[in-house]
Amino acid sequence: MRKIFTLMVMALLVFSVTPAVFAATVGTGITPDIETEDFPPEVWMCDHRVVYDDATEPGRISEDGQTLVERINNYAFEGEQIAWKVLVMDKNGVEKIEDVFATVGGVQGEGNEIEVNCQEIGFDKIIPSCNARILEEELTEFNKDMMQYYVCTLTVETPESMYGEYWITVEATDLDGLSGTMDENEYWFLNPVIALSIDGEMTFENVRPGTDTYSDTLLVGNDADEGSGVLMDMFISGTDFYDSSSSGAMCPTTNQLELDAFRYFATNGAYSTGQDPRKDAEGYVGIDYGIGFNNPNPFYNNNEIIQAQKQGPYYAANILAPGAEMALTFKLSLPEPCNGDFDSGSIYFWGEAI
């Protein structure tokens, strides 16, 4: 009886397991953990990088809104503009780009003060000059879903808000708070102080009528801010001279000593007025009339102190770097007859930043 019972249990166990073997298919799954990179914006400067002149005081060549071709050092004045064309890319999508702007501040790269927002422009090709790369990946195809061009134009403000040396660049930020700048950060001296220095006096004592007399040598220098790099184009002008006292002056026919009685010899480095086509036999040059810069007539090609070594529209011998000086000696050819002490009138020196 016990033996039969055991067999029956074994049969039931077999019967209960068998349906699992012959049932329908069954499966399960796994949920992947995917994290998309928060891609910081990339900014590339392209072929359009220009500096524009302002209307306040147009230079020898450039007029308002024209390319400032004579500016070769990194300084800029109120009203002048710096403009860039940039390509911005965000692999998370252009709609993630929050802002693109030019910054001015004390550090290179991100985080300086925002000075001007950039404007979107329509363009659907990658300009080769952008050199658009992400590490070793060179980008050649424009993707409107990830790329956008901008033009950024920074106008230099007044010295009250912009004076001194600054880093300037274009920066882009996205909605995640990430940012990027173009590699080509620039370093500018904005609104440098420009000034001339005069060391010495021009005095002629006991001059005999009908003779030539020479002054002590004066030094006229570029006294612009140290480190500004401001190059000065130098000019000279003057007025007639009068006796401020009631002395019965006459030189030679009226109470006026004319400006053409004065001439000067100037040196600057390897050059002097001895190489100037306006010189006399001694290398001295006459002085044109003028009581203000370009007043009454444009000074260009007339009133330069030294006209030598012409490079384009400029005379290289007539340009002073910050701290540099020209030496000038004056000659007075006093007419005869002449009577009076002529102490009223001026000889002016002018410097124009180029």
Asked whether residue 197 carries a pLDDT value surpassing 70, the answer given is: yes
Whether residue 320 lies inside any domain: the answer is: yes
- The pLDDT, as a whole number, for residue 136 is 84
**Which of 190, 213, 238 marks a domain boundary?**
190
Whether residue 1 lies inside any domain: the answer is: no
Whether residue 29 lies inside any domain: the answer is: no
**Which of 190, 224, 248 marks a domain boundary?**
190
Asked whether residue 185 carries a pLDDT value surpassing 80, the answer given is: yes
Within a 10 A sphere around the Cβ of 214, how many other Cβ atoms?
14
Q: What is the mean pLDDT of residues 308-329?
A: 96
Q: What is the pLDDT confidence band of residue 3, given thresholds at 50, 70 and 90?
A: very low
**Which of 190, 206, 226 marks a domain boundary?**
190
Q: What is the mean pLDDT of residues 319-323?
A: 96
Note the pLDDT tens digit of each residue in 32-46.
887 777 889 999 999
Asked whether residue 47 carries a pLDDT value surpassing 90, the answer given is: no
**Strand pairing class (186-190; 75-76):** parallel
Q: What is the mean pLDDT of residues 190-200?
A: 96
Q: Which among 90, 251, 260, 240 has a CA at the least distance from the CA of 180?
A: 90
The Cα 74–Cα 76 span in angstroms is 7
- The pLDDT, as a whole number, for residue 24 is 77
CA distances for 165 relative to 60, 80, 136, 160, 169, angstroms: 26, 16, 34, 14, 13
Q: In this structure, are 222 and 341 located in the same domain?
A: yes
Whether residue 3 lies inside any domain: the answer is: no
Q: In this structure, are 73 and 180 located in the same domain?
A: yes
- The pLDDT, as a whole number, for residue 198 is 96
Whether residue 16 lies inside any domain: the answer is: no
Q: What is the mean pLDDT of residues 246-254?
A: 88
Q: Return the ∠ at Cα 317 (arms to 313 and 323), rounded to 5°.
A: 115
Within a 10 A sphere around the Cβ of 290, how many other Cβ atoms?
21
- The pLDDT, as a whole number, for residue 22 is 53
Whether residue 33 lies inside any domain: the answer is: no
The Cα 93–Cα 50 span in angstroms is 29
- pTM reported for the whole predicted model: 0.83
Q: In this structure, are 349 and 200 located in the same domain?
A: yes
Q: In this structure, are 162 and 223 located in the same domain?
A: no
Q: In this structure, are 225 and 173 located in the same domain?
A: no
Q: Domain residues for 302?
A: 196-353
The Cα 104–Cα 164 span in angstroms is 11
Asked whether residue 352 carries a pLDDT value surpassing 70, the answer given is: yes
Asked whether residue 110 carries a pLDDT value surpassing 90, the answer given is: yes
Whether residue 14 lies inside any domain: the answer is: no
Q: In this structure, are 227 and 349 located in the same domain?
A: yes
Alpha-carbon torsion (170, 181, 84, 143), positive or negative: negative
Cα-Cα-Cα-Cα dihedral of 92, 95, 98, 103, to 10°? 80
Q: What is the mean pLDDT of residues 169-185?
A: 95
Give strand ranges (E) for 22-68: 42-52
The answer to whether the beta carbons of residues 122 and 140 sit under 8 Å apart is no
Q: In this structure, are 86 and 176 located in the same domain?
A: yes
Note the pLDDT tens digit of each residue in 140-152.
899 999 999 999 9
Q: What is the 3-state secondary structure (H, E, C) of 194-260?
A: CCEEEECCCCCCCCCCCCEEECCCEEEEECCCCCCCCCEEEEEEECCEECCCCCCCECCCCCCECHH
Q: In this structure, are 50 and 94 located in the same domain?
A: yes
- The pLDDT, as a whole number, for residue 23 is 58
CATH number at residue 46: 2.60.40
Average pLDDT, rounded, for the chain: 90
- The pLDDT, as a whole number, for residue 146 is 94
Q: In this structure, are 256 and 219 located in the same domain?
A: yes
Q: What is the mean pLDDT of residues 335-340?
A: 94
Asked whether residue 218 carries a pLDDT value surpassing 50, the answer given is: yes
The total number of structural domains that make up the chain: 2
Q: In this structure, are 134 and 240 located in the same domain?
A: no
Q: What is the pLDDT confidence band of residue 53, given thresholds at 50, 70 and 90?
A: very high
